[in-house]
Amino acid sequence: MTYRRLRRSSFFLAALALAVSVPCAMCGSAAAQAQQVIDKLNEPWQRVQESNKTWKPILTAYLDMTKPPVDIGPEFDPGTIWPGMDKWSDWSAWAEKNAAMGKELVEQQSKLAFGMPYGDDKVDSNFKSRGLFVRITIDPSTNRVDCGYLAAIRAINAYAAADMWRLGAAGKFDDAFKVGLAHLRLLRQLCDQQLVEEKNFAMRTLGDALAIHRDFFQAYLEKIPAETFQRLGTKDYPYLRPADGERLRRIELPEGDRVVAEAVLRQCFDDSSQASPTMFAQVFAGMQSDKAPLERFGAVKRWSQLAALHGSLESSLTKLENVYDDWWRRWRTRQFDVMLTVPTDLSRLNPIRYAAVILAVRDLQDSFAFRRRLIAELDGTAIAAGLCGYKRGFGIWPDDLEKLYTGYFPKKFDFDPYDKEYGRFIFKNLGGTKRPIDTVWGRLFISSPVLYSRGGDFSDDGFRSHDATGASGDLILWPALRELARSGGASE
């Protein structure tokens, strides 16, 4: 038994660990093979009662929603929705007309899991006809995972942003936060889905939604009561904590793709556990050329040749297990531990002998990056709420974050996940001195306190520029720069 299986604590992943030992010969039709994978992925959800899952009521409410003012595709940014935008009246009217979705979000927010089942045959026909499913295809001609239901979540994200701003414009701040917080909790539930595509989408989207909340703080700073900000900072945002086990358990490593990768590999070896040139050419050339069809001819020849040099099925599955063991240890390790400087097991695989493993596996490096940014966004939003609460209560900004500990936000939230010394966010009260910041919205000037993370270069760059993705320069969490740009580009 591996280190990862000995140490994991989440009952969801414990159930998954017991389920992933697929028999050595996955026999039968492609449909039967896919069904075995689906059954493995769904086993953890069987431990959660249907009444404690939110996927069905949330997606049912989505089916009743009217068409939004614009098409909402993968590139649509809910952060572009605000009362000063073109066609705001259309967005406001749409949000009001679909208020039933807000009520459903509030009603479902305290349930244990989103729990979307895997397999398009696991959902009712009304969901299937709208593409609201996770379809897993295991077939030599097509190996694919399609998380079609995420289109509904994108529409719900747009609704939540529009409705918060609609209610805020009407001065109904408690109602606005009620919808906004329930939406955040839905996304936090979604972070516990098992596939990389789902988890990365949820972590990225939750970080984006938290940034919208800070825009809302900025826009209505002088109208939202101090006690509302105080409650947000001490209770509501801490409820979502992604890095420890408070009300919601910690976000786990996405391991569902491991089950899919194992099934893909098993298609391609013969009864003696050796790579089949024919199957290698069909399966892996198809996967490699999926997004570049013109490469298929050369890929077929290459993969047919690689089969003669490839490791056995047993050794390939061992390498697959080692890759996930390595990622699991890294996921649980402190963020700047020396272990994380060592090359991953995936990067060290022999590109000839284990080419199929390399292609079948989804690299999880993006998952680590999304989780780090989410921690910064959540912690920073709780602190921003505390800052605003202090300002509203005392009429001035604090000169030190320590004055806000406990009463305005929990001290442990003053943690910069981009600091190699595991230290605090950087906070500076500019005392009215105007400072420029370069952003994607142009050069802005601030004179109020600034709260920021060191960002992806892990150094303090003096908040000269802002990288909202956290990938490179400083990640400025307060003031809310996007809202400042909308209102004229200056803060006081």
Q: How far is C-alpha 93 from the geometric centre of its chain's CA atoms?
A: 29
pTM of the model: 0.91
pLDDT at residue 11, rounded to an integer: 36
The string of pLDDT tens digits covering residues 319-350 is 999 999 999 999 989 889 998 899 999 999 99
Q: Per-residue pLDDT for 427 more than 50?
A: yes
Q: CA 485 to CA 492: how far, in whole Å?
A: 13
Stronger pLDDT, 421 or 241, i.e. the higher one: 421
The string of pLDDT tens digits covering residues 245-255 is 333 347 889 99
pLDDT at residue 246, rounded to an integer: 33
pLDDT at residue 142, rounded to an integer: 86
Q: Per-residue pLDDT for 6 more than 50?
A: no
Using alpha carbons only, give the angle 216, 218, 221 rounded to the nearest 5 degrees: 100
The string of pLDDT tens digits covering residues 335-391 is 899 988 999 999 999 999 999 999 999 889 999 999 999 999 999 999 999 999 999
The string of pLDDT tens digits covering residues 263-282 is 999 999 999 999 999 999 99
Lowest mean pLDDT among 26-40, 120-134, 193-207: 26-40
Q: Per-residue pLDDT for 27 more than 50?
A: no
Q: Per-residue pLDDT for 19 more than 60?
A: no
The string of pLDDT tens digits covering residues 291-317 is 555 466 678 999 999 999 999 999 999
pLDDT at residue 14, rounded to an integer: 37
pLDDT at residue 251, rounded to an integer: 87
Q: How far apart are the first and last CA of the chain?
A: 59
Residues 6+ apart with CB under 8 A from 127: 59, 63, 133, 149
Q: What is the DSSP pairing of strand 435-439 with strand 475-478?
A: unpaired
DSSP code of residue 442: E
Q: Per-residue pLDDT for 184 more than 70?
A: yes
pLDDT at residue 141, rounded to an integer: 84
